[in-house]
């Protein structure tokens, strides 16, 4: 019988840490293939422990500017819709006021993620292994409790820009002892994680016009309809 795994992604941490992936591939930009990411991570764990891994849920925690902030949120909302509808993620998104004091936004993400991880850990048979995509030591208490409930923890992190192991990772894995396996480093899988966009012809959901695009989301809107939406 395969082990059941849940993937918990700290979206803020992953976004801010992408520069290490840029450097790994010698590029100025990098798009992650989110549809493949959970499988890449679970395959790495399966190979390391010689066990079959079944992904039961992938959760993504992030933020989005509020309407009153004056920012156009259409692109971010499309991204979160893509994660839900195409990649089959469960998303937990917090609305933030960019113009105000948003120092608590990252704390909101960490509290929400930790709460979900413990909630499912307390449910019988919900998961056997939690894969945490982050290296923030704020998660240590929740991870310790999850392990006391019989769950195993796999950290997914990044090397430092110079290739060394970051202090946060060392502290969590070895000092706090809240991990059951050696860390998975995203930069070791940078090439496999790279999103390769293919141009194909699609029909606009709103006006029915056909247009060449690299957009892989479930719903497609042509450039004219997107322009009208942005101007409203």
Residues in a beta bridge with 96: 65
The more confidently predicted of residues 11 and 31 is 11
Residue bearing the bigger pLDDT, 145 or 161: 145
d(CA 129, CA 150) in angstroms, rounded, equals 9
Q: Please, which residues bridge with residue 184 across strands?
A: 156
Q: Is the pLDDT of residue 98 over 90?
A: no
Arithmetic mean of pLDDT, 32-38: 92
Indicate whether 94 pLDDT > 60: yes
Domains of the chain: residue spans and CATH: 3-196 (3.40.50.1010), 198-232 (no CATH)
Q: Is the pLDDT higher at 152 or at 19?
A: 152
Side-chain-facing half-sphere of 50: CA atoms under 13 Å: 0
Question: Tens digit of pLDDT for each residue in 122-156?
Answer: 999 999 999 999 988 889 999 999 999 999 999 99
Mean local confidence (pLDDT), 165-193: 83
Residue 5: C-alpha distances to residues 100, 151, 174 (Å): 38, 10, 22
């Amino acid at each position: 019988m395969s082990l059941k795994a849940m993937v918990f992604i700290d979206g803020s941490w992953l976004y801010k840490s992408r520069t290490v992936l840029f450097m790994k591939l010698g590029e100025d930009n990098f798009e992650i293939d989110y549809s493949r990411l959970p499988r890449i991570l679970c395959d790495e764990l399966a190979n390391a422990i010689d066990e079959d891994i079944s992904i039961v849920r992938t959760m993504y925690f992030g933020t989005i500017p509020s309407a009153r902030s004056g920012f156009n949120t259409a692109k971010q909302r499309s991204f979160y819709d893509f994660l839900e509808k195409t990649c089959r993620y469960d998303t937990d998104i917090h609305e933030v006021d960019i113009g105000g004091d948003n120092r608590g936004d990252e704390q909101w993400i960490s509290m929400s993620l930790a709460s979900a991880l413990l909630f499912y850990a307390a449910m019988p048979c919900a998961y056997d292994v939690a894969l945490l995509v982050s290296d923030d030591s704020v998660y240590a208490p929740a991870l310790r409790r999850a392990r006391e409930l019989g769950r195993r923890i796999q950290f997914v992190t990044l090397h430092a820009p110079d290739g060394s192991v970051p202090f946060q990772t060392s502290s969590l894995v070895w000092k706090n002892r809240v991990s059951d396996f050696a860390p998975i480093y995203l930069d070791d899988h940078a090439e496999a994680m790279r999103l390769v966009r293919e141009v194909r012809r699609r029909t606009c959901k709103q006006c029915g016009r056909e247009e060449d695009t690299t957009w892989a989301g479930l719903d497609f809107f042509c450039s004219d309809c997107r322009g009208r939406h942005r101007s409203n």
